[in-house]
Amino acid sequence: MKAIPINTNHSLNNRRAKLAGILYLSLVPLGVFGIIYVPSSLIVTDNISATISNIIENETLFRWSIISALVVQLINIILVLLLFKIFKPFDKGMASLMVIFSLLAVPIAFLNEINNLAVLHLLDQANESQQLISVFLNLHHQGIIIAQVFWGLWLFPLGYLVYKSGYMPRFIGVLLMIGCAGYVVDSFTLILLPQFKITFSEFTFLGEVIFPLYLLIKGIKYQHS
């Protein structure tokens, strides 16, 4: 049986684990606000006039959704580097792959917010720029679909590390890898079948709730072999 490397500073790694749990959990309200709540509140499908009116009337809310999206990416950078520190002693290669997949999503998501900033810029000429505003809103939606590929892919090496390391129950690692599949399938399905209404990640996200809660409450354990 392969020996699992033991970090000599258990206390430091557990503090990192608890901080990672807090950061991961903070992504839930921020992500829901920016990706689900604001678009569902302001964007009216197939009615760009109503959508523009909603954005004008709730411009501050729209601006906060942009801030939320940017903060999510900043948190993601800190989070994945913390997790790299925790899992690097076990398998540096897989921990590095986790970092690469996670960080690839950051510039995509950051640049994607330019589309929403362009919408704000065009609001003063909303009557003349309806079609252009519609294009930018649609591009923003497509940008989320692309970033979502990497939001899913980084969960596979993370799930593998959780499963193999023995730092926490193995079923959490399995759930994280299932979560990876949900995001990736959703992205490819939305590209191939944009009218498809089923969102698989709604049923595969459980690992992303249990994992940070476990980190926050119990930390990580170390096994000798």
Q: Is 4 inside any structural domain?
A: no
Query: What mean pLDDT value characterizes the chain?
Result: 92
Domain range spanning residue 149? 10-218
- Dig out the tokens for 62 from the structure: 């729209």
Residue 4 pLDDT grade (very low, low, confident, very high; cuts 50, 70, 90) = very low
Q: Is 209 inside any structural domain?
A: yes
Residue 221 pLDDT grade (very low, low, confident, very high; cuts 50, 70, 90) = confident
pLDDT, one tens digit per residue, over 91-106 is: 999 999 999 999 999 9
Please tell me the predicted confidence (pLDDT) of residue 193: 92
Please tell me the predicted confidence (pLDDT) of residue 8: 53
Candidate from 11-15, 130-134, 210-214 with smallest mean pLDDT = 11-15
pLDDT average, residue stretch 6-30 = 86
Using only the alpha carbons of the chain, give its radius of gyration.
20
pTM (two decimals): 0.89
pLDDT average, residue stretch 198-222 = 91
Residue 30 and residue 75 in contact, taking contact as beta carbons nearer than 8 Å: yes
Q: Is 178 inside any structural domain?
A: yes
Please tell me the predicted confidence (pLDDT) of residue 223: 58
Q: Is 3 inside any structural domain?
A: no
Please tell me the predicted confidence (pLDDT) of residue 189: 95
> Cα–Cα distance between 205 and 23 in angstroms, integer?
17
User: DSSP assignment, residue 168?
Assistant: S
Please tell me the predicted confidence (pLDDT) of residue 217: 92
Please tell me the predicted confidence (pLDDT) of residue 214: 95
Per-residue CA distances from 72 to 34, 173, 211 (Å): 9, 23, 18
Number of structural domains the chain divides into: 1
Q: Is 63 inside any structural domain?
A: yes
Q: Is 127 inside any structural domain?
A: yes
Q: Is 5 inside any structural domain?
A: no
Is pLDDT at 122 greater than 50 in this prediction? yes
Q: Is 1 inside any structural domain?
A: no
Per-residue CA distances from 187 to 11, 141, 181, 201 (Å): 39, 11, 10, 10
Q: Return the half-sphere exposure (C-beta side, CA atoms, 13 A cut-off) of residue 125.
A: 8
- Dig out the tokens for 222 from the structure: 């170390």
pLDDT above 90 as % of the chain? 81
